[in-house]
Amino acid sequence: MPEVNINGIEIHFPFEPYKVQYDYMHKVIECLQKGENGLLESPTGTGKTLSLLCSSIAWHLVKKAQIQASAQGYNIIETKDGDFVTSLRQNLETSTGKEVQPWCNIMMSPKIIYASRTHSQLSQVVAELKRTNYSHVKVAVLGSRDQMCVHPEVMKESSSSAKIISCQLRVSARSCHYYNNVESKKSDPKFTETIMDIEDITKLGKNMQCCPYYLTRELQQSADIIFMPYNYLLDVRHRKALDIQLSNSVIILDEGHNVEKMCEESASIELSSTDIALCITEVTQVMKKVHDQLTNNVEGAPEHAKDFTLEDLCILKTLFLELEKSVTEISLDRNSDGMVGKHFKGSYIFEFLAKSEITEDKINIVRDILLKVSQYLQTTSESPLRSKGSGLQKFSEFLQVVFASKGYYNTSEVTDSAYKVYIEPETKNDNQNSWSKTSVNKNAKIINFWCFSPGFGMRSLLEQGTHSVIITSGTLSPLQATITELGIPIKVQLENPHIIKPEQICVTIIKKGPGNKELNSSYRNRDQPEYLQDLGQTLLNYARQVPDGFLVFFPSYQVMKTSVDHWQQSGQWSKISEIKPIFVEPKEKENFNNIMSEYYNAIKVGNSRGAIMLAVCRGKISEGLDFADARGRAVMVTGLPYAPFKNPRVVLKREYIDQNRKTNNQALTGAQWYDLEAIRAVNQAIGRVIRHGNDYGTVILCDERFDRTSTINTLSAWLRPHITTCNTFGPSLKRIITFFRTIGDVMPSRSINNSEGGSFDYAVDIKTKALQAKKEDEENQNKARNNEFKTFLEQMKSVTPSEKIPFDKSQGLFEALNSNEEYQSTAAYNPLTATAEVQNLIEIKDQVQPDSKKRKLKLVPLKFYNPGEQASSSESLIFNSSQSVENYLLEVKRTLDSNKYAEFQFMVKNYRQTEDYSIMVSSLAKIFFQ
């Protein structure tokens, strides 16, 4: 492997790096050597993650050697090799940057904590690490019990909180043999000398009867690099639960474009009247159980009495009753927009809890009792329909977040500087906790404890003594605004260009549609029929020119639904579907993998014209899925995805930012933040189109508001030089036609099968891959059946005219064909009522949505018959129902395109005249299989 020397650090890279990769690694080394924080933007496809891994690990290994040399150097400095040792130590200290303090000599080198958004993205990073020259480093991958627990009884629990409690009980009682084996297995080379992702270590742990969850916690103690989702890192609850040590660590936040939002969400929490009612119910259940045990002298009662007493339970129930009363007494206001709610400064939460005697000096005692009562409920609940302590668990987490808001210096002023309390009515929710028997009443409320400062979470990392924090992504622009929001000093910055050539990307802002209507997806305009019609025509025209995959992003699910409804009613949907099948991003997670699999397969099939995926900005599709090469040749953004303007959290965030602006004129205004949030979501959606250096595609921004200078300047830096604005539709269409006609002369045609995109820069869900494999198997089976049917047709060519199949004379095939012209193409299909042999011949299978997509002919195994034997039977192979003939012909018409259907009509007419069965069979084979 080539070696690259950057500031004295020898980096093993798989190939000679591009300039953007060299520049990126240089900035990483600068952060690590100087102990500075960095914000590094490099577009998807530029080898960002590979550069990040190689440079950071190379520095880490030198740092490790420095500490070892320092320790050894002090011991042998007086030997004859003293000059060499001193020189070696000085060189190592120079290359790693920071001088080693004496107290560091006995410590391990800084760990690298590598965090990304999801486990699937981390799996891609781990896979990339395996292919580098650094595959020998020690690695730990942290996950949740949901992903890593292998105990069958724990995994039966329906909720995460129940799994946590069940696990903790078994661990404390040492009744989990998987956990008991951790100590003896943690040094096994199978675990320590192999790089494994979560799937690997879970499988191995199960085979070796060892708990993967607790094993990874042990492995992180000696690991060089630890992988985890970044909510584990930013959420104080996860950090403490997983015992994540940040002192002297290098923190890398990959895919960090969401880090501000994650900082806020991980430090925020809510508590509802329903939650409090559930806590009262759970405590009451325990009081009754303990009372019955003590009264009846049930075996085991003394053991439970050691954990808590009836007096403890009475105090706890009184606490919750007082809390419930305090919530009920809060009066809410109605604003001019009709919204009901009330907000307070952050420290109000402490006043609220103090009314129920919950204060800082009592918090540890209260949480300890909550934990013990939750565990008791877990062990004694005999019915799956009874609560198992989830309400008490949630309240304990609420207290943890609330009192952690005082920050490192434990003052309520810190809470006021970062938080607000918002109280609103509680409405009935379908996802409401099913354990609660209390219905939502008119006085029920939700207490929202919202963090509005990303800097609060970021500063909490620095306060733990971190060495450096590096935030990186393909979409961080504008950097200065991001730095302002993060609220920590960031001296090292980078905005990398792309490695693609200018002719590989075409970016167009289109201000008007084909009907000369302004394309503007603002709140006032997005429901107007004229706008929706012109947007549909815009998509229709572009779909004719864009090859392969076409991604269309809407500002929200509601806007997408409104557009789809209009297009289906106006007939535009069916017109677009004739060009490419349309798929829609589902809101539910359950259907997501199936939809993605169908989309990929629609592009993958031979002679495919591609497919269209309608998606949503900030949705799952916009966050890192694989749309390299044929999977995504175009991204069309239909509007700016602004957050709901009157949403209480958005309103309070804008007020919070404007308030901070008064003391820091370099900070953003509330309006600037609001605009930036929309642009960041657009940048992330645009990032789907170019996934590697040999990829190409077009970006179409269909909203006149994109043409504002302030908006263009906040788009990704690599994209800006390629933007052209078209005031009318014609020139924009011409640009795209020209782009795809000329790109073939510059770039080779690439298919979905040989895509190089996303060796690690995007994450494809493992389940999607499994579905794709299953689909391929089905396609192979269908091909085999097609071949079998062709063979059958060849055999049938030898059938003599006397053995030909007669038809019901009450209505001939031709008459049925003519009468069928008046049927609509959307008529329902009914199975043929002919004999079994004809029924088994061809079975029409519906495709997955949409309805307008062509149907497939799925061939099923055939049952051969003896023509001579069947000739004597008046029932054999006769269409004895004219309705069945009509339905069959209707299905033929829906299946074939207009040219093939015309051939079919001619074949039927010819058969009536010649009664030549062998010609008919040959014609059918040609129509359906060529």
Residue 323: φ, ψ to 5° = -65, -45
What are the tokens at 85? 């040792």
Buried b (16+ CB within 10 A) or exposed e, 374-394: bbbbbebbeeeeebbbbbbbb
Token output for 82: 């003293």
Q: Is 314 annotated as a binding residue?
A: no
Kindly report the number of other CB atoms within 10 A of residue 777's CB atom.
10
How far apart, in whole angstroms, are the C-alpha atoms of residue 217 and residue 205?
13
Question: Which helix (DSSP H) or strand (DSSP E) does residue 726 occupy?
Answer: strand 723-726
Surface-to-core class of residue 17, CB atoms within 10 Å of its CB (0-12 exposed, 13-18 middle, 19+ buried):
buried
Radius of gyration of the chain (CA): 33
Whole-Å CA distances, 413 to 407, 417, 660 = 9, 6, 14
Instruction: Determine the Cα–Cα distance for residues 197 and 258; give it in Å rounded to an integer.
Output: 23
CA distance 834 to 877: 7
- Structural tokens at position 9: 């650090």
The amino acid occupying position 698 is T
Distances (CA, A) of 396 to 180, 279, 362, 562, 792: 28, 11, 13, 42, 70
Q: Write the burial class of residue 211 (CB in 10 Å: 0-12 exposed, 13-18 middle, 19+ buried).
A: buried
Of 722, 666, 663, nearest to 696 by C-alpha is 722
Supply the DSSP string of 780-818, one letter for each residue: HHHHHHHHHHHHHHHHHTT--GGGPPP--TTS-HHHHHH
Which helix (H) or strand (E) segment holds residue 360: the answer is none
Tokens 């309608």 belong to which residue?
614
Q: Is 41 helix (H, G, I), strand (E, B) or coil?
A: strand
Place of tokens 């788009």: 715
Q: Is 342 exposed, middle or buried (0-12, 13-18, 19+ CB in 10 A)?
A: middle
CA–CA separation, 532 and 233 (whole Å): 44
The CA distances from residue 163 to 119, 219, 393, 396, in Å, are 19, 22, 11, 16
Going by DSSP bridges, is the β-strand pair 492-495/38-41 parallel, antiparallel, or unpaired? parallel
Neighbours of 194 (CB within 10 A): 13
Q: Is 846 exposed, middle or buried (0-12, 13-18, 19+ CB in 10 A)?
A: exposed
Residues 6+ apart with CB under 8 A from 677: 642, 643
Question: Rounded to the nearest 5°, which phi and psi values hold at 114?
Answer: -105, 110
Q: Measuring CA to CA, which residue among 413, 409, 420, 407 is closest to residue 455?
A: 407
Phi, psi (rounded to 5 degrees) for 3 = -110, 135
Tokens for 228, please give them: 């985890």
Of residues 521, 505, 525, 735, the one with CA closest to residue 638: 521
DSSP-based helix, strand, coil % in the chain, nearest 5:
50, 10, 35
- Residue 807's nearest CA partner among 866, 863, 877 is 877
The answer on whether 279 is annotated among ligand-binding residues is: no
In this structure, what token pair is assigned to residue 662?
């008064």
Residue 702 annotated as part of some ligand binding site: no
Strands of the 139-141 sheet, one edge to the other:
139-141, 225-229, 112-116, 250-253, 468-473, 38-41, 492-495
Annotated binding residues: 149, 167, 176, 211
Annotated binding residues for [4Fe-4S] cluster: 149, 167, 176, 211
